Amino acid sequence: MGWKHPNRKFHSRPTLFFLRSSTILAAFVFLASLVYIFEPVTRDFAKTWTREVHFRGDLREAKFPWNKLCFGQATEKLKLAVFSKTWPIGAAPGGMERHASTLYTALAAKGHEIHVFTAPSDRRAHEDIHEHNLHVYFVSNDHGMVNCSLAFDIFNRENNISKFDYVHTESVSLPYWRARLVPKVAVTWHGVWYEIMHSKLFQELLSNPKGQLPRPMTELQEAIPMLIDEIRFFSNYKEHICISDSAGEVLVNIYQLPQRNVHVILNGVDETKFTRNPMAGAEFRKRYGVPSNVSLVLGVAGRLVKDKGHPLLCEAFGKITKRNPGVFLLVAGSGPWGKRYAELGLNVKVLGALEPSELSRFYNAIDMFVNPTLRPQGLDLTLIEAMHCGKPVLTPNFPSITRTVVLNQEYGYTFSPNVESLVEALEVVINDGPRVMQRKGMLCQRYAVSMFTATKMASSYERFFLCMKDDRYCQYPLANDC
């Protein structure tokens, strides 16, 4: 993800040729992605669930998230090296650095020796961190990126004292030409270019629906060479971990990586911070002046920018409130679209950015969480946080979401990323009303607690690294597995 190609050869080609070949490619890849979009998702969840929890055998053959299993306490301690683009300093870090810090703080607490090579998220100078068995080395270069030579100086020194059991990189933090030289390496992909291309496609269709504006589709076209580049270099990494079922399938079917080297471990959030609390929700509504006679409260959170789908929700909400004056929208976050939401009138309240501690109360105050994002990369943590608080979700029908989060209508609602489809979905939500939202929300909470917790994520990664170190741990269940 975020991979910058050093020499963009395609710029030197004649433009017409490039346009043609990339259009054909885009069409091909689009058709291929349709297979994913239209794949039936309404499978019998109860059945698959029981089949998977009764899984026996080699974990490397598991074609479902490891989070579904229950691993016992590990008896062996590991020494792990981790490469992460950044390490969060202070509040509000992004998804990838939160993943690294949540995961490695938890693994260190379980007694494993962790050495992280990274750069501070605020790009300032910081002392290295040494807290018990968690060691964080800030090895940034002048651009605030990880300096690999510097990192390997320390890596080699540590490896000489006692050998690392395994190396983990968050995305391309450890670049592929280096990874090639590290035989025991696993990479976690937080979003791949196949998914990015997919989202660029939707953005293009949405911003120019009838193709009336003659203009180059630069972003979409640039995604194709990036995708091809990625397919070529991914095999330099030995083991691959994906954060959604659909990304795992893409790595096997499109990137052609061996199934045995592709594993799915879902992200988790701190389950103690996001919990169901109706009292806190009611208090939040009162404090922010949500009228007591509204019939349904929807909520949206995050940066209020275009590619998070806010133009879509703004327009759709404007349409439905004309017919349904009792529907209310709470907007948590800041950004250019805050003003547009405020202009929608009395049915909308823009709260600005909320403190992390307030966020749980916000989720509790709403009847349903809307995530209109146009970026089908990875797994959106806000969806998972809302579910932990017992709220159903309304999201676009991206495969990463329908295969892993909103498994069927019992967990919420999905729509195609266009205004008509969103309006239609909102009408169904309004028709169902708060009672049905509550029922679906309870199921969401049960599911989130069973799959998307920091504890589950940490124990899955722990077992993964144990299995990489010693085949015996790849068997499931072991005597002490629950």
Ligand X SMILES: *[C@@H]1O[C@H](CO)[C@@H](O)[C@H](O)[C@H]1NC(C)=O
Interface positions with ligand X (CB under 6 A): 141-142, 147, 149-150, 153, 156-157, 160, 291, 293, 325-326
Question: What's the rounded Cα separation, in Å, for the pair 131 and 136?
Answer: 9
Give least dist CB 223 to ligand X, A: 28
The Cα 299–Cα 365 span in angstroms is: 8
32 or 145: CB nearest ligand X: 145
CB of 148 to ligand X, least distance (A): 8
Please identify the residue of the shown chain whose CB is closest to the bound ligand X.
141
Beta bridge partners of 350: 331
- For tokens 């389950």, name the residue: 271
Residue with smaller CB distance to ligand X, 157 or 322: 157
Check if the beta carbon of residue 227 is closer than 8 Å to that of residue 241.
Answer: no
Q: Which long-range contacts (CB under 8 A, 24 or more apart) does 129-137 make?
A: 132/108, 133/108, 134/104, 134/105, 134/108, 136/87
- Within the chain, what is the greatest distance between any pair of CA atoms? 70
Minimum distance, C-beta of residue 177 to ligand X, in the bound complex (Å):
16
Q: How far is the CB of 11 from ligand X (least distance, A)?
A: 25
Beta carbon of residue 295, minimum distance to ligand X (angstroms, whole number): 7
Q: Of 119 and 474, which CB lies nearer to ligand X in the complex structure?
A: 119
* Nearer CB in complex with ligand X: 127/142: 142
How far is it, in rounded angstroms, from Cα 216 to Cα 307? 18
CA distance 61 to 34: 26
- How far is it, in rounded angstroms, from Cα 207 to Cα 198? 15
Residue 92 Cβ, how far from ligand X at the closest point, in Å?
A: 27
Please state the closest distance from residue 179 (CB atom) to ligand X, in A: 18
Cβ at position 173, least distance to ligand X in Å = 15
Q: Which is nearer to ligand X, 211 or 345 (CB)?
A: 345
CB closer to ligand X, 145 vs 254: 145
Please say which residue, 326 or 345, places its beta carbon nearer to ligand X: 326
Q: In the bound complex, what is the minimum distance in angstroms from residue 321's beta carbon to ligand X? A: 10
User: 161 or 479: whose CB is closer to ligand X?
Assistant: 161
How many C-alpha atoms does 217 have within 13 Å on its Cβ side? 24
- Taking the least distance from each CB to ligand X, the nearer of 430 and 449 is 430
Nearer CB in complex with ligand X: 55/288: 288
Cα 169 from Cα 210, distance rounded (Å): 42
Supply the minimum distance, in Å, between the C-beta of residue 108 and ligand X. Answer: 24
269 phi and psi angles, rounded to 5 deg: -115, 160
